[in-house]
Chains A and B, each alone.
Chain A
Amino acid sequence: MNSIAPLRPGVFSHPTPEAINPYIKAVQSISDGVPTFWVDAGVIVEVMQTLKSDYALLHDLFIIDERLRQHRDGQPESDFTVVYHLMSFSLNADVRIKVALLGDKPSMPSICNVWAAANWYEREGWDMFGVVFDGHPNLRRILLPPTWKGHALRKEHPARATEMEPYSIDQDKLDYEQEALRFIPEEWGMKRKDDDTEFMFLNLGPNHPSVHGVFRIALQLDGEVVVDAVPDIGYHHRGAEKMAERQTWHSFIPYTDRIDYLGGVMNNLAYVLAIEQMVGITVPPRAQMIRVMMAELFRISSHLVFYGTFAQDVGQMSPVFYMFADRERLFGIVEAITGGRMHPAWFRIGGVTQDLPEGWDTMMRDFIDSMPKRLKEWDSMVMRNSILKNRTVGIGRTTLEEAVDWGVTGPNLRACGLDWDLRKKRPYSGYDQFDFEVPTAERGDCYDRAVVRIEEIWQSLNIIRQCIDNMPEGPYKSDHSLAVPPVKNRTMKDIDTLINHFLSVSWGPVMPAGEGCFPIEATKGQNAYHVISDGGTMSYRTRIRTPSFPHLQTIPMLSRGLMVADLIAIIASIDFVMADVDR
Chain B
Amino acid sequence: MDELRVISMIFILIGGAVGGAAVMTWFERRMLGVWQDRLGPNRLGPFGIFQVAADMLKLLGKHDWVPPFADRPVFIFAPTAIVIAMMLGFAVVPFAPDLVIIDMNIGLLFFLGMTSLAVYSVLLGGLASKNKYALMGGLRSAAQMVSYEVFMGLSLMGVVMLTGSFSLPAIVEAQRDWWFIVTQPLGLFVFLVAGLAESHRLPFDLPEAEHELTAGFHTEYGGMKFAMFMLGEYLGLMLISCMITTLFLGGWLGPFLPPLVWFFLKTAVVILFFILLRAAIPRPRYDQLMSLGWKVMLPITLINLMLTGAIALWQAEATL
Contacts and interface: CB of A to CB of B under 8 A. Distances in A.
A313 B282 CA distance: 9
B108 to A, nearest CB: 31
B282 A209 contact: no
B38 A321 contact: yes
A563 interface: yes
A82 to B, nearest CB: 40
A96 B107 CA distance: 79
A381 B35 CA distance: 13
Interface residues of B, number: 28
Contacts of A208: 214
Nearest to A390: B288
A391 B202 contact: no
Interface in B208-227: 209-214
Given A224-B136, A564-B212, A565-B212, A318 B35 contact: yes
A566 interface: yes
Nearest to B136: A224
B105 interface: no
Given A317-B202, A318-B36, A322-B36, A387 B282 contact: yes
B281 interface: yes
A397 to B, nearest CB: 16
Contacts of A566: 285
A311 B92 CA distance: 40
Looking at chain A, what size class is its interface with the partner chain?
20 to 34
Contact of A315 (B35, B132, B136, B202): B202
Contacts of B287: 563
B286 interface: yes
A238 to B, nearest CB: 26
Interface string B278-319: 111111111110000000000000000000000000000000
A181 interface: no
A202 B132 contact: yes
A305 interface: no
Interface in A290-346: 311-318, 321-322, 325
A53 interface: no
Interface string A142-168: 000000000000000000000000000
Interface of A: 200, 202-203, 208-210, 224, 311-318, 321-322, 325, 381, 385, 387-388, 390-391, 563-566, 568
27 contacts: A202-B132, A202-B133, A209-B210, A311-B282, A313-B211, A314-B211, A316-B283, A317-B36, A317-B202, A317-B278, A317-B279, A318-B32, A322-B36, A325-B37, A381-B280, A387-B281, A387-B283, A387-B284, A391-B282, A391-B283, A563-B285, A563-B286, A564-B212, A565-B209, A565-B212, A566-B285, A568-B211
Given A200-B132, A202-B133, A314-B211, 17 more contacts: A202-B132, A209-B211, A313-B211, A315-B205, A315-B283, A316-B283, A317-B202, A318-B35, A321-B37, A322-B36, A388-B282, A391-B284, A391-B285, A564-B212, A564-B213, A565-B212, A565-B285
